[in-house]
Structure 1
Amino acid sequence: MIYNWQQPDWPEFRYDVSKVEDMLFEFAALAGHVGGMLKALPEAVRLEAVLDTMVAEAIKTSEIEGEYLSRQDVVSSIRNNLGLNQTPEATKDKMAQGAGELMADARKTYAGALTVEKLFQWHTMLLKEQKRIHVGMWRSHEEPMQVVSGALGKEKVHFEAPPSARIPDEMSRFIQWFNQTAPGGDKEIRKGPVRSAVAHLYFETLHPFEDGNGRIGRAIAEKALSQTLGRPVLLSLSRTIEADKQAYYNALEQAQKNNDITSWVIYFVSVILTSQQQAISLIDYILKKSMFFDQFRDALNERQTKAVRRMFDAGPEGFEGGMNARKYMGITKTSKATATRDLQQLLELGAFIQEGGGRSTCYVLNI
């Protein structure tokens, strides 16, 4: 197999922008809508939307790589690094701490040029607890950097990246390309989603680190979008990608076979568009959550508040299976009689809506 980086036209990527014009138009409209929504929202609601999106990105970008982080530690790390906690909160999960640091730094420095130092800094943030790899430096091992699947003895090589010896020069060229194609650059790519798609594919093809390439590559993709928008983008690419990881891996594998990447651009722009649509749903959901607590806060006891917050934590997709007495008992550590009484009160207040009956009775939030 001859990969894209082995071909004479590397890295002169070709793509037909006309194939994504409708999606680009829709993204521009949605991004403008999000910007307007953010300006109109109360400060507390706007901050919650930003935090929820950053937390989702940190968690989902790790889940794509098979790592599962503590949500509370990710939240604490992001709040610490954005200066939102007067006294920094302790984090037990050091991988979660690093993911939060990366998300916060990427947001704060989105407008700046990409540099070797910044990429090494991100890599160190993300993987400083990993003792088995070299952090904050390009890979240097002589063995091939391969993307492999399958059981031992039946491995399938999906892709092989350029040799480590080529990485310093290749990354210098990538960083120069990224900065030249930024807004105001002498090779500006004016369509942010297109630049984001190319940047992600370009970086993932080089695979310059021993580990963490996917997570840093997705941060680069969001940086490209943010620079074109002129503000930190409010969406989570990883949430959309993680929902269908196989489609992502298939699209990458096909795109790394040659340098005509129209199909990849179509795929990735569609991911960006879906992510922006989900962000609008999230903002609407958070606004409903704020209105819910404005209405019911003083009427709920401590147990009810804890259970309701757990339901809201499930996000716009909803609390799976609804709330019932058994779940309520588990969340609040209370008796069945108290759980039944609390749930009935929530129903009478109008905070809950009942679904089903008998043993199948469950409750959903009235929002």
Structure 2
Amino acid sequence: MKVTYMYIHQSPSWPNFTWDEKSLSNILGNVRYKQGKLLGLMESVGFDLREATTLENLTEDVLKSSEIEGEILDHDQVRSSIARKLGLEISGLVASDRHVDGVVEMMLNATQDYTKPLSSERLFGWHASLFPTGRSGGFKIEVGNWRKNAKDDPMQVISGAMGREKVHFQAPDSELLDHEMSQFIKWFNNFKDLDPILKAGIAHLWFVTIHPFDDGNGRIARAIADMQLARADETSQRFYSMSSQIRAERTNYYNILEKTQKGNLDITEWLEWFLLCYDSALINTDGILNTIRNKERFWREFSPININERQKLMLNKLLDGFNGKLNSSKWAKIAKCSQDTAGRDINDLIERGILIKEAAGGRSTSYNLASL
């Protein structure tokens, strides 16, 4: 008699995933080649460039993983929090709030301590870091423990207005979570005969399918994948951002997750999507590397010049790719100084040939770097 089920975790064979190794072999070989090439390149550059690249990619990972869930964090707070926790000396540090620090702590614990085993206690710590107040969206949640929803109130991923809701996915009952998570953690720590990049994709899917927490499952699933990718790279330094690429492909990401969870245990299509997403993340690291190299060249050229901290802060923002036009009002607001002080800072840099005034004048006057 054929057994029917709605979600893969209800299959009698769960969690014995299968996939077509032959159809994935070309993609896997390609990403392995690009991964090796990137790691080799980073080994050949200076320590400062590797540190700067790690800082930018970790910042992007934290920002974009939260953004996938609709939460916008402050870029400067995230970057400053990471720099402080890694002991990096950078200019323009700002104070970061408790929530930002918590998200950063989770990501750093996953990627910097990637050799340490995963455990339920470690996952509970990540969850508590994500929700330091024990609340999510104004609602009290079970923090630092598996969810405890009643059988008649299942954990579901739903969209749509009241009365027209669509159930995208329903997770295993909470009474099964101790067994489900024990099985997952044992596999994650002990399963050796598997390509580590494939393992990152499987771990991501497996964890998000169990959905063991009241909230934060997507972010923790991506942190687990990043932890496994750090194992694949054999370094805590991060030279690409998987979450940035997932954010760019967010619609496809949710679609393939839903399709896979409503399919059978053959996850070839999910793994193909994950590998192609990883491939794009490796390719797109070129942009970050170019930005960092430009900054290095810029500061080598102008290092002998006496530049104050406000000027250094604003020049770094321009080097990072300032969003919009930089005028004296924005300078004053970001650098936390008066309009007169901003004007003096700007004029000083114009006289030195570091800044130029854009063609439009009057109220529209804006400034940019003279050259890179």
Where in structure 2 are the equivalents of 1:83-162 lying within 5 Å? 83-84=87-88, 91-131=95-135, 132-142=140-150, 143-162=153-172
Q: Equivalent of 2:47, from 43, 65, 83? A: 43
**Given that residues 304 and 342 in structure 1 are in contact (C-alpha distance below 8 angstroms), is that contact kept between their aligned partners in structure 2?**
no
CA gap 1:43/1:275 in 2 versus in 1, 3 angstroms: same
Q: Secondary structure, in 3 states, of the residue corresponding to 2:164?
A: coil
Partner Cα distance (2:313, 2:359) in 1: 23
Residue identity (%)? 35
2:24–2:268 contact (8 Å) kept in structure 1:
no
Which residue does 1:307 correspond to in 2?
A: 314
**Aligned residue for 1:263?**
269
Superposed CA deviations along residues 260-303 of structure 1, whole A, max 9, x for unmatched, are 21211111111111112222431232122111111123447435
TM superposition score normalised by structure 1:
0.85
Q: Provide the C-alpha distance between the structure 2 equivalents of 1:245 and 1:238, rounded to a whole number of angstroms.
A: 10
Match of 2:322 among 319, 333, 336: 319
Amino acid at match of 1:138: W
Q: Secondary structure at the match of 2:303?
A: helix
> Within 5 A, what are the aligned runs for 1:1-367?
2-84=6-88, 91-131=95-135, 132-142=140-150, 143-181=153-191, 185=192, 188-190=193-195, 192-232=196-236, 233-258=238-263, 259-299=265-305, 301-302=307-308, 304-313=311-320, 318-321=321-324, 323=326, 327-328=330-331, 331=334, 333-334=338-339, 341=347, 344-345=350-351, 349=353, 351=354, 363=368, 366-367=371-372
Displacement of 1:151 after TM fit? 1.6
Shift of the 225–262 alpha-carbon distance from structure 1 to 2, 3 Å rule, reads same
Offset, 1:104: 1.7
Root-mean-square deviation over aligned CA pairs: 2.8
Alpha-carbon spacing, 1:365–1:178, altered in 2? closer, same or farther (3 Å) = farther
- Quick one: structure 1 residues 324 and 23, their matched pair in 2 at CA, closer, same or farther if it must change by over 3 Å? farther
Structure of higher RCO (CA pairs closer than 8 Å, 6+ residues apart): 2
Decide whether the 8 Å contact of 2:80 with 2:96 is kept in 1: no
Query: For the residues of structure 1 that align with 2:299 and 2:284, how far apart are their CA atoms?
Result: 23
1:228-261 CA-to-partner distances (Å, cap 9, x unmatched) read: 2222353221111122321111111111112221
Contact 2:327 2:366 (8 Å CA) reproduced: yes
Taking structure 1 as reference, are residues 95 and 330 closer, same or farther at Cα in structure 2, changes over 3 Å only? closer
- Where structure 2 has 5 or more consecutive residues not aligned to the other structure, the ranges are none
- The answer on whether the counterparts of 2:128 and 2:134 sit within 8 Å (CA) in structure 1 is no
Deviation, structure 1 residue 327: 4.8
Which secondary structure state, in structure 1, belongs to the residue aligned with residue 158 of structure 2? strand
How far off its partner does 1:337 sit?
6.5
Q: Distance in 1 between matches of 2:288 and 2:154?
A: 42
Q: How many residues are treated as equivalent by the alignment? A: 351
Deviation at 1:16, TM superposition (A): 1.9
For 1:68 and 1:4, the matched residues in 2 are separated by: 32
Closer/same/farther in 2, CA of residues 7 and 196 from structure 1, 3 Å limit: same
Do the aligned residues in 2 keep the contact of 1:240 with 1:271 (CA within 8 Å)? yes
Q: Is the 8 A contact 2:78 2:101 kept in 1?
A: yes
SS in 2 for 1:251: helix
C-alpha separation in 1, matches of 2:85 and 2:313: 26
SS at match of 2:54: helix
Compared CA separation, residues 26 and 362, structure 1 to 2 (3 A): farther
Q: Structure 1 residues 203, 337: CA separation in 2 closer, same or farther (over 3 Å shift)?
A: closer
Deviation at 1:342, TM superposition (A): 5.3
Contact between 1:91 and 1:97, CA under 8 Å: does it hold in 2? no
Unaligned runs of 5+ in 1: none
Distance 1:141 1:116, change over 3 A: same
1:149 positional shift: 0.8
Q: CA deviation at 1:356?
A: 6.6
Distance 1:24 1:153, change over 3 A: same
Cα deviation, residue 139, structure 1: 0.8
Q: Deviations over 1:170-199 (max 9, x none)?
A: 111111222232xxx2xx212x22211111
Mapped partners of 2:369, 2:256: distance in 1: 38
C-alpha distance 284-20 of structure 1, shift in aligned 2 (>3 A): farther
Bigger mean CA deviation after superposition, 95-104 or 274-283? 274-283
Cα distance in 1 between the residues matched to 2:358 and 2:81: 38
For 1:193 and 1:34, the matched residues in 2 are separated by 15
| Structure 1 contact 355–361 (Cα < 8 Å) conserved | yes
